Structure 1
Amino acid sequence: MAKLILIDGSSYLYRAFHALPPLSNAQGEPTGALFGVVNMLRATLKEQPTYMAFVSDASGPNFRNDMYAQYKANRPPMPDDLRAQVQPMLDIVAALGFPILRVTGVEADDVIGTLALAAQAQGIEVEISTSDKDFAQLVRPGITLVNTMTSTVTDRDGVIAKFGVPPERIIDFLALTGDSIDNVPGVAKCGPKTAAKWLEQYGSLDGIIERAAEVGGKIGENLREALPQLPLSRELVTIKTDVALDVGVTDLAPRAKDVDALRTLFTRYEFKQALKELDNGNATVGAHPRIESGAGAVRESPSPDQDHEQPSQGALLHEDIAPGSYELVTTPAQLQAWLAKLEKAELIAFDTETTSLDALQAEIVGASFAVESGHACYIPLAHDYPGAPAQLDREATLAALKPILETPARPKLGQHAKYDINVLSQYGIAVQGLKHDSMLESFVWNATATRHDMDSLAKKYLGYDTVKYEQVAGKGAKQISFSQVDLDTACRYAAEDADVTLRLHRALWPKLESEPALRKVYEEIEIPLVPVLARMEQRGVLIDAHVLRLQSQQLGKRMHELQQQAYAEAGREFNLDSPKQLQAILFDELGLAAKVKTPTGQPSTNEEALEAIADEHALPRLILDYRGLAKLRSTYTDKLSSMVNPRTGRVHTSYHQGGAATGRISSSDPNLQNIPVRTEEGRRIRQAFIAPDGWRVMAADYSQIELRIMAHLSGDEGLLKAFREGGDVHRATAAEVFGIAPEDVTGNQRRAAKAINFGLMYGMSAFGLAKQLGVDRGEAGDYMARYFARYPGVQAFMEATRKQAHRDGYVETIFGRRLYLENLTSRNQGLRQGAERAAVNAPMQGSAADIIKRAMIAVDGWLAGRDDARMLMQVHDELVFEVRADAVEAVRAGVIARMSGAAELKVPLLVDAGVGANWDEAH
């Protein structure tokens, strides 16, 4: 496959300058940065790319300076020693045959982004050589990042492992954290962990902005103060991918080296090894890259020239940490012997090797099993490299394994077993009898102690270094499919998976056995949920791609109309996406008064600023409408239709049990839990989620579940009474707080009560409440004081929960799940107070998560004997079903009964269930 390597020249130079000592040649010329860059370039040439380019910033301002005058204003001037090495660097780069690109008006990042996407569209593999975190937003299939200084390759899973968010959320992530080097304003005190947590909770930057009032404490105040500048920050960190260039990808073929020029340069700067290789015609051996990856993907390891780490302090050193003895099964006799072992085993650890991380499109390459620590087998089924030895027939072997895998009486153990269950389902095997999952054992024992992938768990709980995927399949662009790994190497890797899974279980299970409440959460919630989620993923949800395409077209047409109307209102054409141009038209040419300013005092053109002047002129509203439609189109209507599985005609998400520490289930690829519902255009997207002919979509949603859990846990009589009476709880709260009859409560009073009811669970301060309600801080404080006076049990519960958290280091859900909290003993007051707020909220969120999981298990069990309804999606506190039209009422009643019965609270657990031809109609 053709390959394009794009080198971030500025990153190379600065990184080498700071990483290497201040070297110089005999004439006293600085050479340290130059030396580092030359070595990295020689390693790049060793890869023999089809195309390559060295991209650096052109002199002068760029379009980001037009957006924000303070962009990079804090950067110190380039050190003289570094400036002296810039021209020699460019001379050597050119002599080595690298095309050099420097485009005025944009940054090197934008040139690289444009070329990367253009190459990917042409089927050309792209490698971006950089250490700049901004480029993580470009990672996708066919585009990876390489940090030559640290010998690492970062793919999608590596981005998630490093930042806690996927590539498509990096822009939002960077907008929140800001960048002190580039002087990009973010949210004060919002670090990477906070940004990742917010994005997981609210889905996107727009979701965070929309629900900013829910974020409590000082960091919540910081977030709300930063709201006017966040859209600008997002624009500043977004890499342009449509720069007009004079060259295309295929114009970037390597040029012939200028050997004479190189000899002169290498001699002058005393690069003796480079000079020797130049004269001898030898190539430099490149560094050994290391994949950065998340759980369930390629596993991270030290590079081959590093010593393995010793067991970490505090690791549980198990007696069987020595490498195991593994058998490669390639004959019928060997298979029969292992079938006999599996038939007699008390517990079967199993794992699959496949061609893809997408379980529903992966092909199985082999399977591994272990029934005793230190002994395991690997059964290769589809290794197809040239000269591969004969293997057992895949169809016949899976048929032989099927009775064992499908027998509930044969207990099974896996590590993230849902993946393997889904893979095997594609071959007609419905795995039953899942007894344990080492990932979930670790997650229930302590969700925040470590990542829950096998490598991390083996290191922490066994003190054992596993064989890493890259050690058997290669790295980066040169990585091969597991089907091409030789059988002996594959056996060592794959059999170890089953063996280590068994070892982990034997280390973790005694811990859970010693804690009855945790064992109950594990055995009664998490393990039974695995096959439920697997079935939901396998079913998928029916999407009308045609509807989505029409919506995209309609959005595009409407955007064009809005654009033309905006031109007419402005009196000329302009770039609707340019804050600078919009600022000039609104405030200079039209003379509107700026009511919101940027942090630098300039008139803002963000959403808040435009809303503030939308009644004074037609143009601001047109811009707001245009932006809203553009976001919907790019994020939803264009994307969802491309994710329909061509085999099933459905969208298949992946649900994650071991992600959020509170126990909340998350969804990805696609994230079905983040589809907008608050605007008409957003709700229309749900219209594309449909049922087959003769069926209906049913959506069943818990009503105010976290507030009901607060009433249950606090035991406050006033709050309990409000729920038991079954009226409007916010109106009842307002009546209590303001000391008036419920029928006399005004809309503003009810709104204040609702804000307090929900805000308290997230640690909202009087300042935050004041901002949300548009009142002064004193009035908001008075509201809260009245609330606690009328609901003293709530305040007592909050204080008792804080004390318990400090005493135990964790809080618990109604069902006994432990939620450990970092920073409770931090010397940093802000971190400590944030942990205390989380301690109050965690029992509500965690209990809500446990309740809907219990509901899913109960509903799934009830539906198992029916053919008239299927559970498809879990979205926060909502379950979505396909129901045959003639069974709607019976299914509705059965679902409501089981969801309502998922917990016994001191207040009713209410469920609303709607039905329609599509998901939107069902609400």
Structure 2
Amino acid sequence: MTDRDPDAPLLVLVDGSSYLYRAYHAMPDLRAVPGDPTSPATGAIRGMINMLQALQKEHPSDHIAVVFDAAGPTFRDALYPEYKAHRSPMPDDLRAQIAPIHEVIRLLGLPVLDVPEVEADDVIGTLAKTAASQGWRVIVSSGDKDLSQLVDERITIIDTMTGKVRDVAGVEAEFGVPPRLMVDFQTLVGDAIDNVPGVDKVGPKTAAKWLQTYGSLDAIVARAHEIKGAAGDHLRRALDWLPTGRQLLTIRTDCDLDGHVPGLPSLEALRKRAPDTEALRAFYQRYGFKGLARALGGEGDAAAAPTPAAAAQGTLFGDPPPAPALRYETVLDWATLDAWLARLRTAPLVALDTETTSLDAMRARLVGLSVSVAPGEAAYIPLAHDYPGAPAQLPLDAVLERLRPWLEDAAAPKCGQHVKYDRHVWANHGIAVRGCVHDTLLQSYVLEVHKPHNLESLAERHLGRRGLSYEDLCGKGAAQIPFAQVPLERAAPYACEDAEMCLAVHQVLWPRLQAEPALQRIYELEVAVSDVLFRMERQGVLIDAEALRRQSHVLGERIAALEAEAHALAGQPFNLGSPKQIGEIFFGKLGLPVVKKTATGAPSTDEEVLEKLAEDYPLPARILEHRSLSKLKGTYTDKLPGMIHPVTGRVHTHYAQAVAVTGRLASNDPNLQNIPIRTPEGRRIREAFVAPPGWSIASADYSQIELRIMAHLSEDAALLRAFAEGQDVHRATAAEVFGLPPELVSPEQRRYAKVINFGLIYGMSAYGLAKALGIDATAAKNYIERYFERFAGVRHYMDRTRAQAKARGYVETVFGRRLVLPEINSPNGPRRAAAERAAINAPMQGTAADLIKMSMVAVQRALDEQQRRTRMVLQVHDELVFEVPPEEIDWVRTEVPRLMAGVATLRVPLVAEVGVGANWEQAH
């Protein structure tokens, strides 16, 4: 910013009307009661608070004013009745937030101005010029380019959302004219947003050119007869209008603010006051801003009590319990350990936590362990802290043997945060921990799926407490030290806190689960699944590393050949991974058609464009194949052999249980759920997943599970009949849509029906269907209409589900899993549409996730009860993969489908199918 006098006092003027709309559109659909669409909207309020806090942090000043447009007409409306006539009315839920926004700004200590009969811009212009004339520096915070006409050596416009600065040089660089000519520039161009005409067909470039040539609008008008061409004709036709246009667009700098800003022209009238902390706390609690209330300190640590609607949804949990007096102890001798062990044996529930050497569950070793038996009470048992001056610690192996009977006692109830990880750590030391009845990670996942589930967030959200963070102790990045090197006087409180806060969070969340039987059942399912997943992760899967290395070699040769072919087709070498170079060759050298453009206006070369161009041109096809094979090679054939565990000789994926809002599991490190199966090269990778010598791989999966769930949920007669009679549902759909007997349906018509069936589940539009089928949008629209005519129950289900989602803020699976939709009533059209699609799809995906989890538990229980040697090794969406000894193949073929089909009773039969082979691909 240009600044003649950096020591001059600073006045910050906020364009509140600009902030208002930005906050409204930028924030999600927040509510005073989260998840309850019937409670007051708060997104704009929270957005305004955030924006003002950020502004004051970046540009601190003792003098500030937030200026809004006042209700009612202004002098411009009298001058030109069509002024702003095309603007849409303010949304009702934004209008309802204006009064509380004014209230909270005043409570923050900031002056609020809304002056009748003039606009916010005029008030800002008057204050800015008044301050500048008194030698003040002025910053105007707004995204409105119209305010650029105020800029001079003392007045600067900043846009905090984009970082753009409009000082004298910035205005001229952006518009091609200095600030003193901005009114003339705007008059020529007009303002479409405010419905102020300019000179027809004259845009910014022409306006800037004229002003650079003639020096001012008055000079342009005086010499209008000299300007040739169509632009000159349009100018001459506009001459009578231009004075009115200029008057409408000129920001007034002489408004009478007397009575609105008592004390002007002294700018002390705009001095910031101290915030009204108590009133702010009450405001934040009233509108559900618990974090802001806690940040005020004192009583703000208590959040507002929940409304009945909030309590019913489990989304706003009211006052946290009072913080207990903390009694943490570090165990460094046998007597203290024995005293704590006696307490562990008699405690109704013990929170157990580990401190380790690694986040890799299969390789992590213990550094110490912590336990908590009552509110505020915890102990840390250090076992492997190693740094200069570290106190003597009890020997690790001896401590573990002393604790083993309690740890392995299934009748000794334990809870933890992400229990599955801790069980791996104990297993690395040869201890099979039993009795893990509760997991706060999973409690949060079931109750509040859309929120963070880490212990730090849970403690802040439900206890009103902020604990120490790992980075506080160990640092970040390259400078981070191992936990074993953290001094005990700092490590022990952190570790004790982990266990003690875990127990405290459980004591808050568990009663809320018990109050909602359906959610309690889902939680108990998740706890049971956690045990199955632990065993699957521990078991791992066998990989034929040599087969993968051979595949990598073949893929490498094909990738090199594709690169050479691409270079030949392009007529030059280029980087196949560079969008810029691809664009230059496609559109500059080869003249391929531009399918779409990026946000900056450049021709796009994204995946969708390449696929479209590949239909007609060989080079995009080669690039696509090159990318696909390179990804296979880098992600799987090169990487998997290096992930074989040195002790077990297997690959051990990690299943993330509390990630997907639908309840689906996620596989990572490595991700074994995304191995592509639509190409021969992708399927070949599954050939490397093998069984031990003499054993087989079996794959069991549900048949058309989401369509069956759709039939159950919608109760559509035609769908129910098709599944009840064991028909090919896609053929049956095609017969209904095309009005044919099933036996006359062609393969192409069946393909169309399959795309329609699955597309509608995922909320596909007519445009999306047209693209998927390669037909025009009208034909696609007709197919969808015919589908809904024949399957009216599906349409009724979709309409009913959308309405329920809007009313409740969430949808549910068949078994009661709650899927929260924060954006279902969002004023932002795309966000709302996405939430509506999710409302349709989530109950099906979520029910499918529930079913496969129920199957995992049922099958594992049968394996245990019958002492089978068959082992479950993978879960991939609706599929379970097993290693099977030869004598149990028949059992797996018959019993696993029966068990999977019997976990629930729907309006249509559940069907599971099993394949067996030497490797995963053969079995699938």
* TM value normalised by structure 1: 0.64
Query: Separation in 2 of the partners of 1:399 and 1:418?
Result: 21
Structure 2 equivalent of residue 415 of structure 1: 417
Structure 2 equivalent of residue 266 of structure 1: none
Q: Could you say what secondary structure the match of 2:390 adopts?
A: coil
Distance 1:687-1:309 versus aligned 2 partners, 3 A rule? farther
Indicate whether 1:386 and 2:394 are aligned. Answer: no
Structure 2 equivalent of residue 868 of structure 1: 869
Structure 1 equivalent of residue 346 of structure 2: 344
Query: Separation in 2 of the partners of 1:768 and 1:616?
Result: 21
Cα pair 1:770 1:780 within 8 Å, conserved = yes
Structure 2 equivalent of residue 775 of structure 1: 775
Structure 1 equivalent of residue 734 of structure 2: 734
Distance 1:22-1:758 versus aligned 2 partners, 3 A rule? farther
Distance 1:630-1:23 versus aligned 2 partners, 3 A rule? farther
Structure 2 equivalent of residue 684 of structure 1: 684
Q: Could you say what secondary structure the match of 1:361 adopts?
A: coil
Task: Summarize the alignment of residues 351-750 of structure 1 with structure 2, pairs less than 5 Å apart.
Answer: 351-448=353-450, 450-523=451-524, 525-567=525-567, 573-577=573-577, 594=593, 596=595, 598=597, 621-750=621-750
Cα pair 2:348 2:413 within 8 Å, conserved = yes
| Worse overlay, 360-369 or 864-873 | 864-873
Note the C-alpha offset of 1:550: 2.0
Q: Could you say what secondary structure the match of 1:651 adopts?
A: coil
Cα pair 2:697 2:881 within 8 Å, conserved = yes
Note the C-alpha offset of 1:511: 0.8
Distance 1:618-1:352 versus aligned 2 partners, 3 A rule? closer
Distance 1:615-1:776 versus aligned 2 partners, 3 A rule? closer
Distance 1:572-1:336 versus aligned 2 partners, 3 A rule? closer
Distance 1:562-1:735 versus aligned 2 partners, 3 A rule? same
Provide, for residues 488-507 of structure 1, a one-character-per-residue CA deviation record: whole Å limited to 9, x for no partner: 32221111111111111111
Note the C-alpha offset of 1:420: 0.7
Distance 1:896-1:350 versus aligned 2 partners, 3 A rule? same
Structure 1 equivalent of residue 905 of structure 2: 904
Listed as ranges, the gaps of 5+ residues in structure 2 are 9-160, 165-290, 305-316
Distance 1:343-1:731 versus aligned 2 partners, 3 A rule? same
Cα pair 1:852 1:902 within 8 Å, conserved = no
Amino acid at match of 2:403: L
Distance 1:612-1:801 versus aligned 2 partners, 3 A rule? closer
Amino acid at match of 1:880: V
Cα pair 1:474 1:480 within 8 Å, conserved = yes
Distance 1:761-1:609 versus aligned 2 partners, 3 A rule? closer
Note the C-alpha offset of 1:829: 3.1
Cα pair 2:303 2:319 within 8 Å, conserved = no
Indicate whether 1:332 and 2:334 are aligned. Answer: yes
| Worse overlay, 455-464 or 774-783 | 774-783
Query: Separation in 2 of the partners of 1:556 and 1:476?
Result: 34
| Worse overlay, 764-773 or 610-619 | 610-619
Distance 1:417-1:323 versus aligned 2 partners, 3 A rule? farther
Cα pair 1:675 1:682 within 8 Å, conserved = yes
Structure 2 equivalent of residue 807 of structure 1: 807
Cα pair 2:872 2:882 within 8 Å, conserved = yes
Distance 1:420-1:552 versus aligned 2 partners, 3 A rule? same
Query: Separation in 1 of the partners of 2:331 and 2:521?
Result: 38
Note the C-alpha offset of 1:585: 6.3
Note the C-alpha offset of 1:669: 1.3
Amino acid at match of 2:453: H
Distance 1:552-1:760 versus aligned 2 partners, 3 A rule? same
| Worse overlay, 621-630 or 835-844 | 621-630
Distance 1:607-1:452 versus aligned 2 partners, 3 A rule? closer
Report the number of matched residues: 631
Q: Could you say what secondary structure the match of 1:429 adopts?
A: coil
Query: Separation in 1 of the partners of 2:463 and 2:749?
Result: 57
Cα pair 2:326 2:377 within 8 Å, conserved = yes
Listed as ranges, the gaps of 5+ residues in structure 1 are 1-16, 29-178, 183-300
Task: Summarize the alignment of residues 787-806 of structure 1 with structure 2, pairs less than 5 Å apart.
Answer: 787-806=787-806
Query: Separation in 2 of the partners of 1:402 and 1:844?
Result: 44
Cα pair 1:595 1:613 within 8 Å, conserved = no
Structure 1 equivalent of residue 264 of structure 2: none
Query: Separation in 1 of the partners of 2:319 and 2:518?
Result: 26
Cα pair 1:316 1:462 within 8 Å, conserved = no
Structure 1 equivalent of residue 32 of structure 2: none
Note the C-alpha offset of 1:905: 1.2
Note the C-alpha offset of 1:741: 0.1
Task: Summarize the alignment of residues 265-284 of structure 1 with structure 2, pairs less than 5 Å apart.
Answer: none
Provide, for residues 97-135 of structure 1, a one-character-per-residue CA deviation record: whole Å limited to 9, x for no partner: xxxxxxxxxxxxxxxxxxxxxxxxxxxxxxxxxxxxxxx
Provide, for residues 731-759 of structure 1, a one-character-per-residue CA deviation record: whole Å limited to 9, x for no partner: 10111122210011123322222122111
Provide, for residues 666-713 of structure 1, a one-character-per-residue CA deviation record: whole Å limited to 9, x for no partner: 121111111111111111111221211111111111111111001011
Distance 1:328-1:602 versus aligned 2 partners, 3 A rule? closer
Cα pair 2:303 2:320 within 8 Å, conserved = no
Task: Summarize the alignment of residues 171-210 of structure 1 with structure 2, pairs less than 5 Å apart.
Answer: none
Larger Rg: 2
Query: Separation in 1 of the partners of 2:500 and 2:361?
Result: 22
Amino acid at match of 1:811: V
Note the C-alpha offset of 1:866: 3.1
Task: Summarize the alignment of residues 210-359 of structure 1 with structure 2, pairs less than 5 Å apart.
Answer: 311=301, 313-314=303-304, 316-359=318-361
Task: Summarize the alignment of residues 801-840 of structure 1 with structure 2, pairs less than 5 Å apart.
Answer: 801-840=801-840
Cα pair 1:349 1:369 within 8 Å, conserved = yes
Query: Separation in 1 of the partners of 2:738 and 2:343?
Result: 72
Query: Separation in 2 of the partners of 1:796 and 1:616?
Result: 41
Distance 1:582-1:362 versus aligned 2 partners, 3 A rule? closer
Query: Separation in 2 of the partners of 1:579 and 1:488?
Result: 53
Distance 1:373-1:638 versus aligned 2 partners, 3 A rule? same
Identity of aligned residues (%): 54
Query: Separation in 2 of the partners of 1:824 and 1:534?
Result: 36
Distance 1:390-1:792 versus aligned 2 partners, 3 A rule? same
Query: Separation in 1 of the partners of 2:765 and 2:379?
Result: 58
Query: Separation in 2 of the partners of 1:456 and 1:717?
Result: 47
Distance 1:582-1:452 versus aligned 2 partners, 3 A rule? closer
Cα pair 2:657 2:664 within 8 Å, conserved = yes
| Worse overlay, 331-340 or 556-565 | 556-565
Note the C-alpha offset of 1:384: 1.4
Structure 1 equivalent of residue 859 of structure 2: 859
Distance 1:564-1:408 versus aligned 2 partners, 3 A rule? same
Distance 1:24-1:399 versus aligned 2 partners, 3 A rule? farther
Provide, for residues 181-204 of structure 1, a one-character-per-residue CA deviation record: whole Å limited to 9, x for no partner: 99xxxxxxxxxxxxxxxxxxxxxx
Note the C-alpha offset of 1:483: 1.1
Query: Separation in 2 of the partners of 1:461 and 1:699?
Result: 42
Note the C-alpha offset of 1:578: 5.1
Query: Separation in 2 of the partners of 1:606 and 1:837?
Result: 25
What is the Cα-based RMSD across aligned positions, in Å? 3.0
Query: Separation in 2 of the partners of 1:602 and 1:806?
Result: 39
* TM value normalised by structure 2: 0.64
Note the C-alpha offset of 1:426: 1.0
Q: Could you say what secondary structure the match of 2:922 adopts?
A: coil
Cα pair 1:596 1:608 within 8 Å, conserved = no
Q: Could you say what secondary structure the match of 2:921 adopts?
A: coil
Query: Separation in 2 of the partners of 1:685 and 1:312?
Result: 54
Query: Separation in 1 of the partners of 2:616 and 2:517?
Result: 64
